[in-house]
Structure 1
């Protein structure tokens, strides 16, 4: 697949089933219910981004939301990129496009959680945070023992920002 043939857009409710299928193909992502994916594509469409290929197939998706007490923050819940499209910086393109779309609404921080050793996610977010020149703070948000009864790795919170986008000729 050619790097330039992806269309990045806001999701729509009819993407819900395709999103469910995409996440199932993106092991080790935690699958959500189809209903949950429908909500990501409708209720949370403003804080999500979809990538489709030249055939209109959903090949990438980022779900996120703005925590009610921190409207200046985009919390990235999940990043899914079809295996056929990996290594082309599609995840990075989607996340930067989403941040740029939300910046005029006051978003200046990005948060996400990453389990230790998830090199792909660590690399993706490090590249995005570098591109945004955003300082990063890390802390354990949900601990293995306290929140997962020892059955899941820690979820480490990455908080990056503040960042700004400079619009040409402004």
Structure 2
């Protein structure tokens, strides 16, 4: 069988795991391919991968990082804040973002989260669709309010970010199984 046909038939292995600092550069490169995400410094992604690894996720197809979620538990609150969700072009259409979110909220480190928060600009249709789908899957309720506003927080240089809140019901495990 020709080599190119063998490669097409080879199943790809999806792995979801906590990041480590050596993933920082690959995470940074991935985020750069995922417009309109804000590009942070490579150092920022390295620190996230080390200091916040328990509330971040990397997705690998075979050995290539194709997905990333950065997040953290909000201090003194029962909420998980998701900062960025990135899925590379080679992994789009696989439902990977929702798989990563589900993987994250099922971790022991996120067990105290009663809600998930994230911010989304009004024009980011892909993010709205993802988080609405995730809320339905979890059996939670999604609400939003303007939070970081164009004029008050961004000096007119960035669209208003809406704080999205998704309740994570205590019986979420049953909703996930459905």
Same fold (TM over 0.5): yes
Structure 1 residue 161: Cα displacement: 0.6
| 1:153 matches 2:159 | yes
Distance 1:25-1:163 versus aligned 2 partners, 3 A rule: same
TM-score scaled to structure 1, two decimals?
0.91
TM-score scaled to structure 2, two decimals?
0.87
Structure 1 residue 53: Cα displacement: 0.8
Structure 1 residue 3: Cα displacement: 8.9
Measured in 2, the distance between the counterparts of 1:3 and 1:111 equals 35
Structure 1 residue 166: Cα displacement: 3.0
Distance 1:119-1:3 versus aligned 2 partners, 3 A rule: farther
Structure 1 residue 5: Cα displacement: 2.6
Distance 1:159-1:4 versus aligned 2 partners, 3 A rule: farther
How do 1:1-170 residues align onto structure 2 when only pairs under 5 Å count? Answer: 5-54=13-62, 56-70=63-77, 72-102=78-108, 105-164=111-170, 165-166=172-173
Measured in 1, the distance between the counterparts of 2:101 and 2:89 equals 17
Measured in 1, the distance between the counterparts of 2:137 and 2:121 equals 22
Larger Rg: 2
What SS does the corresponding residue of 1:123 show, helix, strand or coil? helix
Measured against aligned partners, the alpha-carbon deviations of 1:85-132 in whole angstroms (never above 9, x if no partner) come to 111110010001101114763112100000001000000000001101
What SS does the corresponding residue of 1:7 show, helix, strand or coil? strand
What SS does the corresponding residue of 2:106 show, helix, strand or coil? helix
For structure 2, the residue ranges without an aligned partner over 5 or more in a row are: 1-7
Aligned pair count reads 165
Measured against aligned partners, the alpha-carbon deviations of 1:42-88 in whole angstroms (never above 9, x if no partner) come to 0000000110011x111000000111121x21100000100111111
Alignment check: 8 A CA contact 2:54 2:109 kept: no
What SS does the corresponding residue of 1:42 show, helix, strand or coil? helix
Alignment check: 8 A CA contact 1:17 1:38 kept: yes
Alignment check: 8 A CA contact 1:132 1:163 kept: yes
**Counterpart in the other structure of 2:3:** none
